[in-house]
Amino acid sequence: MYIKLREASIVDSLWRGDLQIIPNAGHLAQWEQPERFNRLLEEFIEEVR
């Protein structure tokens, strides 16, 4: 999910929510920074299993 930093407090209300900032990426972080995005996604999946 893409959110503006000023709206980051919403993360606290999400079940198992976690805020990750991917530098030099916008709405399409999975395309703009695929290696970083995939690594973060894999880490998240391992945590929630």
Q: What is the pLDDT of residues 1-49, one digit of tens each?
A: 666 767 777 777 777 777 788 989 988 999 999 999 999 999 989 988 8
> Which residues form the domain of 41?
5-48
pLDDT value, residue 2: 64
Residue recorded with tokens 């030099």? 24
Burial of residue 36 (number of CB atoms within 10 Å: 0-12, 13-18, 19+): middle
Q: What is the pTM of this model?
A: 0.69
Q: How many domains does the chain have?
A: 1
Q: Pull the structure tokens for residue 5.
A: 């930093």
Rounded Cα gap, residues 32 and 13, in angstroms: 27
- Interatomic CA distance for residues 39 and 48, integer angstroms: 15
Rounded Cα distance between 33 and 36, Å, is 6
